[in-house]
Amino acid sequence: EGVGPQEYTLIKIELAAPTATAAKALSAFDLPKGARVFLVAGTLRPETMYGQTNCWIHPDINYLVVPTASTGDAAAAVEYLVCTRRSARNMLYQGILADSETLESIESPARRRLRGADLIGCPARAPLTPYERVYVLPMMTIKETKGTGVVTSVPSDAPDDFVALQDLRQKAALRDKFGVTMDMLLDPLPIIDIPELGDLAAVTLAKEMKIQSQNDREKLDLVKERVYKLGFYDGVLKVGEFAGSRVQDVKKRVQQQLVDTRQAIVYME
Q: Which residues of this protein are in contact with ligand A2H, per CB under 6 A? A: 1, 6, 42-45, 48, 141-143, 146-147, 149, 151-154, 157-158, 161, 224, 228
Identity of the residue, 19 or 228, whose beta carbon is nearer to ligand A2H in the bound complex: 228
Minimum distance, C-beta of residue 80 to ligand A2H, in the bound complex (Å) = 20
8 Å CB contact between 267 and 90: yes
Give the C-alpha separation, 188 to 208, whole Å.
17
Minimum distance, C-beta of residue 26 to ligand A2H, in the bound complex (Å) = 22
Minimum distance, C-beta of residue 57 to ligand A2H, in the bound complex (Å) = 10
Give the C-alpha separation, 263 to 245, whole Å.
22
Among candidates 173, 87, 185, 79, which has minimal Cα distance to 136?
185
Identity of the residue, 19 or 134, whose beta carbon is nearer to ligand A2H in the bound complex: 134
Minimum distance, C-beta of residue 149 to ligand A2H, in the bound complex (Å) = 5
Identity of the residue, 133 or 224, whose beta carbon is nearer to ligand A2H in the bound complex: 224
Identity of the residue, 19 or 46, whose beta carbon is nearer to ligand A2H in the bound complex: 46
8 Å CB contact between 210 and 216: no
Identity of the residue, 161 or 193, whose beta carbon is nearer to ligand A2H in the bound complex: 161
8 Å CB contact between 57 and 149: yes
Give the C-alpha separation, 166 to 185, whole Å.
9
Minimum distance, C-beta of residue 24 to ligand A2H, in the bound complex (Å) = 26
Minimum distance, C-beta of residue 235 to ligand A2H, in the bound complex (Å) = 10
Identity of the residue, 36 or 224, whose beta carbon is nearer to ligand A2H in the bound complex: 224
| DSSP structural state of residue 105 | H
Among candidates 15, 153, 135, 18, which has minimal Cα distance to 80?
15
Contacts with 24 (C-beta within 8 Å, 6 or more apart), sequence order: 118
Q: Which residue is nearest to ligand A2H (CB)?
A: 147
Give the C-alpha separation, 126 to 96, whole Å.
20
